[in-house]
Amino acid sequence: MSEKSKYFVIKEKAVPEVLAKVVEAKRLLDSKKGMTVQEATEQVGISRSSFYKYKDDIFPFHENARGKTITFIIQMDDEPGLLSEVLQAIAENHGNILTIHQSIPINGIASLTLSVDILPNRGDAEAMVDDIEACQGVHYLKILGRE
């Protein structure tokens, strides 16, 4: 019986240093033609064995999110125009809203659940999350799931 893969989305500050360096080495290999794994790992300060051990298991969020559906929950102020600003951030990063549900605000805070399709070859989930979190009045954003 094969074991099903489980995926986790974690913030960069929680990623062990070796894994962050594996991602950096992969970026170097992709950006510099002719660079060897040995050169990339030496440049970022990890062993080749660490690179090979983790290279297929760690990648930037945006790399694996294109062409996928992501569900977010957002807590935000109940302010005119804020929902429009959040939706604009999604559109600017080539996301297509599939579902949207906003609760009745309690104490001036609304909860919003969104399912967003990240368009293949165009969408940028990482920038989308950054842009939504940067909206004045957004207090909390959590990624609930990814399909």
**Exposed/middle/buried for 135, CB within 10 Å: 0-12, 13-18, 19+?**
middle
Please give the pLDDT value at position 1: 45
Residue written as tokens 């399709």? 117
Please give the pLDDT value at position 56: 80
Q: Are residues 44 and 104 in the same domain?
A: no
Which residues of the chain carry a pLDDT beneath 50? Answer: 1-2
Residue 1 included in any domain: no
Q: Are residues 31 and 77 in the same domain?
A: no
Domain that holds residue 98: 64-146
Please give the pLDDT value at position 33: 79
Residue 5 included in any domain: no
Please give the pLDDT value at position 4: 55
What is the number of structural domains in the chain? 2
Query: In angstroms, what CA-CA distances link 68 with 88, 91, 118, 123, 135?
Result: 19, 15, 5, 10, 23
Render pLDDT for 59-83 as a digit per residue (tens, 0 to 9): 765 555 555 788 889 999 999 999 9
Predicted TM-score of the model (pTM): 0.57
